Amino acid sequence: MSSVEAPSHSDSKRQRDWRQSYARRLAVTDLVALIWVVFGVQFLWLGNDGDATSIRQPGEAPLVVNYTIISVVLTVLWVLSLRFGGTRNYRVVGQGSTEYKLVADASGRLFGLVAIVAFIFKIDLARGYILLAFPVGILVLLFFRWAWRQWLAVERQQGRFASNVLLIGSEQSVRHIATQLARDTSAGYRVVGAWVKGVPAGAVIDDVPVRTSEESDSVVEALDSFGADTVVVTSSDALSAEELRELSWQLVPGVHHLVLAPSLTDVGGPRIHTRPVAGLPLIHVETPRSEGWKKYGKRGLDILGSAFFLLLLSVPLLAVALLVKLTSKGPVFYRQERVGLNGQPFEMLKFRSMRENADAELQTLLAAQGSDGTPLFKVKNDPRITPIGKFLRKYSVDEFPQLINVLRGEMSLVGPRPQREAEVALYDNVAYRRLLIKPGMSGLWQVSGRSELSWEDAIRLDLYYVENWSLMGDLVILWRTCRAVVRPGRSAI
């Protein structure tokens, strides 16, 4: 973490106002998007010939209503549905899938209501008008929400549009939570200080300035001195139950926010359930499972995906094989034994990107750069790579033969990258959990930094995937993989 200064009063006020400001921006964008979609669908589907519908009641003449009025009402109701559906709440925007789910849920509820009202009052709505506006509207809304997220992530890297956080807890728990929050600035939590008992006056924990109980009579005083708007309690021994309750009473509603942060980390949202019992907010954490329909669904995705890409890319892959064969001595494919599910070895396929017998030089090169004792056997500026191999590696083309491994069931499209037996021998007990799931062609750490990540960060991301994987998560990683292949960046080797 970098060192931070306590914000001034005006800075603190701006930090408190970001929630309303960002929500207003989303509201304007939602309104513009829906006007464009609803009226665009009306024009495309109905044109100038079907610009009116009727409301029929028994024994009465039909009431003719212009479709423009219906589009106006539909747009207003849709905007209100997004508003009261909590889609612009600061707790869900900026990160995770909850915002997207709420947008889809609010839209679905509205169109369900429209269908019921149309049936009850016998409103002859054009089916194509409704059935087209609904999915297109959701897609456009999600696109604009995604675009705002990209902008918000950049702003939060600069310390703006984020909550100023005061951490309360033991020295160890404060250091742990501060490190975790610093890893992901897009979450919108900017640590500006800490309140810790039993540390010397003027202490600093990992560049986070600290106030003690001797310097501040109360947490609220420390909160104001740092210009923080959010209190994060990092350990249960920091405050007693009575002190924590009194603290919640002292915080200003709508200005200050209270968060309890358990020490458990790297747990995905779907595994967490909060249940109040006897006045206690109990947090239930589901144990990770890789069985039943999830297991067969993942295998089905692997079979369909690998077969599809092998057929689609068959001609380009043949061209690559020919290039490899003609530009350097040696076989087209590089075959190497890797460690797979539950420690079972298998032969992994790649297009050869190095000169012949390159494995014999590996230990000498690793020893020369001082990394022969680490689990990631990566040689910097590797002299063994052929000219065509540099291109294949930069765009990950050398990995495509592993589609055959996926089709055979030895690998998955998404999972921890398979490593050699010598690398697995350096695993500790934590790293061994990587082997509880099939290795993948791509994984979470490959789309989060590739070769720039340290082994500690790589293993943390792999373990997060093992504990929290889902089919939807796999699809997201595959999409990010496609983007990384097209735009590899500097981290690709």
Provide φ and ψ at 182, rounded to 5°.
-70, -20
Same domain, yes or no, for 453 and 311? yes
pLDDT beyond 60 at 167:
yes
If residue 348 lies in a helix (H) or strand (E), which one and from where to where? Answer: strand 345-351
Q: Are 213 and 205 in contact (CB under 8 A)?
A: no
Number of domains in the chain: 3
Task: Enter the DSSP assignment of 341.
Answer: G
Task: Enter the DSSP assignment of 310.
Answer: H
Residue in 489, 295, 244 with CA at minimum distance from that of residue 409: 295
User: What pLDDT is attached to residue 289?
Assistant: 64
Task: Name the region of 7 (left: φ>0; alpha: ψ -120 to 50; beta: rest).
Answer: beta
Q: Are 330 and 352 in contact (CB under 8 A)?
A: yes
Q: Are 46 and 129 in contact (CB under 8 A)?
A: yes
Instruction: Return the ∠ at Cα 193 (arms to 187 and 199), rounded to 5°.
Output: 135
Average pLDDT score over residue span 447-472: 78
- Beta pairing, strands 163-168 & 230-233: parallel
Those residues with Cβ within 8 angstroms of residue 244's Cβ, 6 or more apart along the chain or in another chain: 233
Residue 282 resides in a domain: no
Residue 94 resides in a domain: yes
Those residues with Cβ within 8 angstroms of residue 466's Cβ, 6 or more apart along the chain or in another chain: 288, 416, 433, 434, 436, 437
Residue 286 resides in a domain: no
pLDDT, greater one: 4 or 440: 440
Same domain, yes or no, for 151 and 181? no
User: What pLDDT is attached to residue 140?
Assistant: 95
Same domain, yes or no, for 127 and 173? no
Same domain, yes or no, for 249 and 308? no
User: What pLDDT is attached to residue 4?
Assistant: 39
**Which of 61-65, 218-222, 303-307, 371-375 bottoms out in mean pLDDT, i.e. has the lowest?**
61-65
Instruction: Please return the burial class of 8, using the count of CB atoms within 10 Å of its CB with bins 0-12, 13-18 and 19+.
Output: exposed
Q: Residue for token digits 């509880």?
A: 436
Share of the chain above pLDDT 90, in %: 25
d(CA 396, CA 478): 13
Number of H helices, E strands in the chain: 15, 14
Given 102, 127, 157, the domain boundary residue is: 157
Residue in 336, 331, 359 with CA at minimum distance from that of residue 348: 336
Same domain, yes or no, for 464 and 409? yes
Task: Copy the structure tokens of residue 119.
Answer: 């049936």
pLDDT, greater one: 194 or 383: 194
Same domain, yes or no, for 123 and 175? no
State the residue range of the domain holding 347. 293-486
Given 117, 137, 157, the domain boundary residue is: 157
d(CA 111, CA 200): 60
Given 221, 243, 263, the domain boundary residue is: 263
Q: Are 142 and 99 in contact (CB under 8 A)?
A: no
Q: Are 45 and 134 in contact (CB under 8 A)?
A: no
d(CA 247, CA 235): 15
Same domain, yes or no, for 186 and 236? yes
Same domain, yes or no, for 78 and 193? no
**Which of 11-20, 165-174, 301-310, 312-321 bottoms out in mean pLDDT, i.e. has the lowest?**
11-20
3-state helix, strand, coil in the chain (%, to 5): 50, 15, 35
CATH number of the domain where residue 246 is located: 3.40.50.720
d(CA 487, CA 477): 15
- Beta pairing, strands 163-168 & 189-195: parallel
Residue 361 resides in a domain: yes
- Residue 299 banded pLDDT, cuts 50, 70, 90: very high
- Residue 332 banded pLDDT, cuts 50, 70, 90: very high
Q: Residue for token digits 């106002």?
A: 17
User: What pLDDT is attached to residue 12?
Assistant: 45
Those residues with Cβ within 8 angstroms of residue 34's Cβ, 6 or more apart along the chain or in another chain: 75, 78, 79, 137, 140, 141
Task: Copy the structure tokens of residue 469.
Answer: 């994987």
Residue 209 resides in a domain: yes
Same domain, yes or no, for 217 and 332? no
- Beta pairing, strands 333-339 & 52-55: unpaired
Same domain, yes or no, for 302 and 418? yes
Residue 479 resides in a domain: yes
Residue 3 resides in a domain: no
Nearest-10 crossing angle of helices 98-120, 127-157: 160
Same domain, yes or no, for 84 and 111? yes
Residue 283 resides in a domain: no
Same domain, yes or no, for 173 and 198? yes
